[in-house]
Amino acid sequence: MEIKEIIENRRIIKKFKQDPVDLDLLKSWLQVATWAPNHRMTEPWEVLFLGPDTRAKLNHKTNFGQAPIAIAILSKHGSTEIEKNENMVAVSCFIQNFMLLAWSNGVGTSWSSIGVAQSVRKMLHVADDYEVVGIFGVGYPEEIPLVKNRTKIDNKITHLD
């Protein structure tokens, strides 16, 4: 698949098959994802693999679409608010790399924001100097949602003098 096709066709998956995803393969995508840009080489990403007990405690409404694997991706704070924001941006680049690599191998991802809740942070034993950027189901899609079209970029471009 061309990179353009991978980017355009990737969808957030809500329902997964039960077929397992090879863990080494998944880790290889996470490894490649680390080539994300990151200011001052902070490499702020960290990944938690969520086992069945943790998933049961989280009590997510669909259990992450019944994905065979669920991971939380964290961003470490910096020593200033600016560094904290920059690290979150770097982790977002890491996440997109990961999602696209998975998709190019036929594997989908869901994204849940429940990690912003203090109760969820506690269940995941997240230290105060980390943000939970998202919790992701990872697996082969059972269903691929319809495309949500994007606004033409011309509507988002301003030319300054």
Ligand X SMILES: Cc1cc2nc3c(=O)[nH]c(=O)nc-3n(C[C@H](O)[C@H](O)[C@H](O)COP(=O)(O)O)c2cc1C
Between CA 39 and CA 85 the distance in angstroms is: 11
At residue 74, the 3 state secondary structure works out as strand
Where in 40-69 is the site for ligand X (CB under 6 A)?
none
Single out the segment in contact with ligand X by CB under 6 A; choices: 47-55, 62-70, 83-91, 105-113. Answer: 105-113
The residue from 4, 125, 148, 152 that contacts ligand X (CB under 6 A) is 148
Smaller CB separation from ligand X, 75 or 112 = 112
| Measured CA angle at 123 (ends 30, 130), to 5 deg | 55
The alpha-helical segments, DSSP class H, found in 52-160 are 52-58, 81-104, 118-123
Single out the segment in contact with ligand X by CB under 6 A; choices: 53-61, 71-79, 83-91, 109-117. Answer: 109-117
Which positions lie near ligand X, rule CB under 6 A? Answer: 11-12, 111-113, 134, 148
